[in-house]
Chain A
């Protein structure tokens, strides 16, 4: 039962990262792809009707985590207190940037301000999310009661009194930043025409080299910081398909980008994100929040909720998600096609 809910939460997290990932990514490359006011308006319009639904995956994942693994929710959210509250502020700023920009469409000062807010908040969010994942992989200073608290930074090392930010988690943040930039650029290439489309493809083309470099660097760093992550791979060798898929998806991004097949390139970067996360999740199991002192690690076994609650949710959860996927299909179908520069909202 706990394995099922572990996989469900992982699935929802992957959905969140792929979906909100492309609109956060669009924010990262906002100024590269949109060179003037009308083009930046087109960037915003391309994510306008969908970003809110994408962000709902974060809330739905949070809610699912909350009832399936209450002890994890309690420990993780209070332990990452400062960065999570800052994430909230960034989410508020970013949403305002997206939705308020077009309220005064013809006021250049207004749109310039919100463009900046949107881009900045997107960049910081990508780095924060990456650093958060880095913390989970590195492990946190959980105590015997199952709680911890980390300041934003301490001595930048991965042992002893750790902070949210150290060399390893910053590296994870950079990986997330580059990966979402490429992913977002792929999305914009898919949704735009002409010069904007060309510039999006350029971002993917050059971003790709950075992505390969940081991916290799981060895999090496994981081996150094948490070598036990490989244990599951040795005991269940089918897991090695995941790193192979990471490599294959990287190659596919480059290939389809070169061919000008934006849809396939976007799907490839989606697979890349899913596999990177999947690889981490596969290695972590049964831990959900490893402790620096392994005796205090939170696992699916000691963090799960009651058996009845978990089984009854197995009935409503699939129903809800299937209905939600139907809305999604309808929404994306209604707003399919490319956005045109200069069109009114």
Chain B
């Protein structure tokens, strides 16, 4: 394999693995603020227990996010040196701001939140939870702004040496692409967080352990999950889709599997892209829907892949197509299930509906999948460009680093992350086994000592 291919695999693998953790911490952080608020407002110690329990989960997950996140910043330089030299003056800016404004905030207040409750008192403890939430969401902003510049570069000029120089700070930081992508991405993280809370609640109620806490988890998880999964479709998903349609029309065509330009183009619900015959096999299509969603007219002209030169096409169209369809399919299922669950909750029937609890419990891995394929849509959709329209992926890798050396580190990451996975699963199962209430008892014992 060529070094460039291995560089791509290594970055894709390490970033995909990394993002398992931040999506959960960014999803849980606002929920914990809500739990702490409920505990103080209602003067209900149970919500404090809930906050402590999810705080423990968040603490472990945060650690895994940190250790798998450091390699991401490094790899821009180690594996993508030519790209870094080209674009570092622009995207280095947002990455440095992430370190300065978000990481210091997160790392200080995670320690205070996890270990400082007794020393800080309830109000300051609430404040640390809140600042931890702000830190994780700020961090998300700077990463999205970095990615948004690569998707939709603005506010730059090409200097004499061929590299790009920043010309407008606010264009970089408040890129319109970043605003919609952020809305969609953070909604996705909130889906992961709330579904995890609901799933564990369902597990506790079904297994008849910690039932009281299970019900609290379910209540919070279902309400938050219902709001966030609808948010993913409208307005955030819709707005994000329009950005793609406007600025990356060839990507839209590839996502939808639209090989030929059409008036009144339809949306394929399922079907397999046949790259040789340039068509979708076994497709089920909603007529005219794509035209309407994209241009708000049933008969609008939508450009298919054939409207663009081949060297502009994303280089893995089937994977892009499937990623997009899995994301949308899962998102639709999430909305349906959460609306039913919220209705049952309102009618007071949720805790006794075993079938629904089973579904909520088994649903927990799927938001992770939906978020992952969502990012695959963004990143595969950007190909063949590293910086859209400006700089091709094939030119970005470090050419002094040989393929054998990249293979060595790639295998090393495989091994390292396998160990991390086992540890994470083990620690999570242990937390779930202990549950919220046992934690509460041990905390009380501590304060009695």
Q: Which residues of A contact B (CB under 8 A)?
A: 48-50, 52-53, 55-56, 58-60, 62-68, 70-71, 73-82, 84-85, 88-89, 91-92, 95-96, 99-100, 103-104, 146-149, 305-309, 312-313, 316-317, 320-321, 323-324, 327-328, 330-331, 334-335, 344-345
Scoring B residues 420 to 439 as 1 if CB is less than 8 Å from chain A, else 0, what string do you get? Answer: 10010001001000000000
Q: Which size class do B's interface residues fall under?
A: 35 or more
- Beta-carbon contact of A327 and B108 below 8 Å: yes
Distance in Å: Cβ of A94 to nearest Cβ of chain B: 9
Q: Which of these, A49, A65, A96, A316, contacts B115 with CB under 8 Å?
A: A49
- Which residues of chain A come closer than 8 Å to B169, judged between CB atoms? 309, 312
Of listed B76, B77, B169, B400, residue having the most chain A CB within 10 A: B77
Distance in Å: Cβ of B83 to nearest Cβ of chain A: 8
Q: Which of these, A75, A103, A147, contacts B60 with CB under 8 Å?
A: A103
The residue on B at minimum CB distance from A88 is: B71
- Beta-carbon contact of B92 and A59 below 8 Å: no
Q: Which of B96-104, B195-203, B274-282, B302-310 contacts A (4 or more CB under 8 A)?
A: B96-104
- Which residues of chain B come closer than 8 Å to A317, judged between CB atoms? 96, 100
- Which residues of chain A come closer than 8 Å to B112, judged between CB atoms? 49, 330-331, 334
Q: Is the interface of A mostly helix, strand, loop or mixed?
A: helix
- Which residues of chain B come closer than 8 Å to A331, judged between CB atoms? 108, 111-112
A331→B87 CA distance, assembly (Å): 36
Distance in Å: Cβ of A64 to nearest Cβ of chain B: 5
Q: A63-B98, A320-B100 are in contact. Are A71 and B85 (CB under 8 A)?
A: yes
Q: Which of these, B66, B97, B110, contacts A95 with CB under 8 Å?
A: B66
Scoring B residues 328 to 339 as 1 if CB is less than 8 Å from chain A, else 0, what string do you get? Answer: 000000000000
Q: A88-B70, A92-B67, A95-B67 are in contact. Are A73 and B77 (CB under 8 A)?
A: yes
- Beta-carbon contact of B409 and A77 below 8 Å: no
- Beta-carbon contact of B399 and A309 below 8 Å: no
- Beta-carbon contact of B103 and A84 below 8 Å: no
- Beta-carbon contact of B67 and A91 below 8 Å: yes
Tell whether B163 is near chain A: CB-to-CB under 8 Å.
Answer: yes
- Beta-carbon contact of B78 and A305 below 8 Å: no
Q: Which of these, B97, B120, B412, B430, contacts A103 with CB under 8 Å?
A: B430
- Which residues of chain B come closer than 8 Å to A82, judged between CB atoms? 405, 408-409
- Which residues of chain A come closer than 8 Å to B449, judged between CB atoms? 344
- Beta-carbon contact of B92 and A305 below 8 Å: yes
- Which residues of chain A come closer than 8 Å to B93, judged between CB atoms? 67, 309, 312-313
Q: Which of these, B60, B88, B101, B163, contacts A320 with CB under 8 Å?
A: B101
Within 8 A of A (CB), among B163-186: 163, 165-167, 169
- Beta-carbon contact of A60 and B104 below 8 Å: yes
- Beta-carbon contact of B81 and A75 below 8 Å: yes
Q: A52-B66, A67-B92, A308-B167 are in contact. Are A324 and B100 (CB under 8 A)?
A: yes
What are 11 residue pairs bridging A and B, where the CB atoms are less than 8 Å apart in the complex? A53-B104, A56-B99, A63-B73, A65-B92, A67-B92, A80-B78, A85-B412, A149-B400, A309-B169, A316-B97, A335-B111
The 8 tightest CB contacts between A and B, nearest first, are A77-B77, A70-B88, A67-B92, A306-B165, A305-B89, A63-B96, A66-B92, A320-B100
- Beta-carbon contact of B81 and A78 below 8 Å: yes
Of listed A50, A92, A95, A317, residue having the most chain B CB within 10 A: A92
Q: A66-B77, A81-B78, A147-B399 are in contact. Are A100 and B427 (CB under 8 A)?
A: yes
Q: Which of these, B74, B86, B105, B159, contacts A306 with CB under 8 Å?
A: B159
Tell whether B109 is near chain A: CB-to-CB under 8 Å.
Answer: yes
- Beta-carbon contact of A306 and B89 below 8 Å: yes
Q: Which of these, A60, A76, A308, contacts B100 with CB under 8 Å?
A: A60
- Beta-carbon contact of A49 and B111 below 8 Å: yes
Q: A85-B409, A96-B67, A149-B401 are in contact. Are A56 and B165 (CB under 8 A)?
A: no
- Which residues of chain B come closer than 8 Å to A67, judged between CB atoms? 88-93, 95-96
The residue on A at minimum CB distance from B101 is: A320
Other 4 A-B pairs with CB < 8 A, given A85-B412, A92-B70, A306-B89: A49-B111, A62-B74, A75-B85, A147-B81
- Which residues of chain B come closer than 8 Å to A95, judged between CB atoms? 63, 66-67
A323→B408 CA distance, assembly (Å): 40
A271→B312 CA distance, assembly (Å): 56
The residue on B at minimum CB distance from A63 is: B96
Q: Which of these, A55, A85, A146, contacts B78 with CB under 8 Å?
A: A85
